[in-house]
Every structure is written in C-alpha cells, then in structure tokens.
Structure 1
Amino acid sequence: MILASSIILAALFAPVNTTVEEMKAAPSDFHGKEVVIEGWVMRCQGYDCAIRDHRDMDAPSLSIASGTIFDTVVGAQAPVRVKLTATVDATCFSGEFVCTDRPPELTPKKWKVKY
C-alpha cells in the first residue's frame, strides 16, 4: 500500500514533458510546475537567454532566468541543443503582464547538453 502511494505521488509530481509552443498555447496549465523541454539555446548572455523548439531565431521562445550557472555552462557552448528541467513562471508569457529584459519564465533545475 505504501509503495503504491509512493508511485502515485511520484507520478503526480513528476516533471511534465512539453514544448515551448505547448506552453505558450496554455500558460496557466504550466504555471508553477516543473517541466522538461528539449530545445535550442542560441545564445545566453546579458538580457538574452531563451530556449526555443527550433534552431530558427524567429521561433517562439521562453526566457531562462538569469543568475544561475546555466548561463556560464550553456552560454559558452551556444548555439546548442539542451534538455532542460525547469520550474515555470507563466506571469510574463500569459499575456496579463508586459515584462522586459530577461523575465524568469523558466528557472533551470538541471540540464543536459545534447550533441
């Protein structure tokens, strides 16, 4: 019984696999949740660090929070494909607020550079 409960709880709190496009289409569904996204980080410095589903710079993107080691590690390798586990703050991409600079839409928890 305890094992079954643990498995159910783990499934409920497991990160959600998604894409930038899915998150942009339904921001409130992801707010406060942990997600896993595979995508492209084209550059990561100053006010510009985002992940997008495609390598195209015009593809929709989500901003990655500054002030983490992510900038140093991934920024030095950009452009690069990354598998990112992050917590979502949909405040800025939900359309309710206008955010400038580099909003913390995704706060990295862990990542893996994909070669």
Structure 2
Amino acid sequence: MIGVIAVIGVLLAAVCLLGHVALCTHRAATAADLAALAAADTARGLRPGVACEEAERTARENRARLVSCAPAPEDPEIMDVRVAVDLAVGARLLGPAYGVARAGPPPSGSAGSGS
C-alpha cells in the first residue's frame, strides 16, 4: 500500500513538473512575441525609445529576461528577439524556458494595408 502511494506521489509530481515547464515555455513564447513587437515598432519609429531597450522592458514586464535582441541582417526594421524564463526552484536543473520571435513591418501589398 505504501508503495502504491509512493508511485502515485511520484507520478503526481512528474505531472506537476511537466505542467510547470509547459506554462513557462508558453510564458517565454508570449514574452518573446511581445518584446519583438515592441522592438520592431520602436525600430520603425512608431514609438519613442531604443528598440532593444524597449524589448528588454517588455520582456521584464512579462516576467522574462532578454537574452538577445538584434535587427535582422536583411532589414533593420525587423527585430529578432530571444528571451528566457527561469523555472521554479525544483525544476532549475532543466534550465530556463526560451522563447524566440521575429517582428517587423507587414509585407508590402498585404491584405489590410489599404493598397
């Protein structure tokens, strides 16, 4: 009986760990998307500031850490961003969850552009 309870406890802990990792991965992806959008808007002059500083601020507001931020080689208005979200203390051996995103102006001639 104690063995069954121990196995159930281990399985429950594993499910909780997987759920936590999934949540942090989703948070990292969302933070990366928002940080890339903020950086791209700043790079295009749609908002004041420095592009990567805005990306860092946006990542921090979404409980993430900016790992890298750079304009794309093919277009300085396209921003590539990478963020990290640290896992809880019990899951830190797995390392942080990362999110990567790219944002920039809409393609010319796209639907909704008014042309």
Give the TM-score normalised by the residue count of structure 2.
Answer: 0.32
Q: How does the TM-score come out when normalised to structure 1?
A: 0.32
CA radius of gyration, larger in: 2
Higher strand residue share: 1
| Greater helix share, structure number | 2
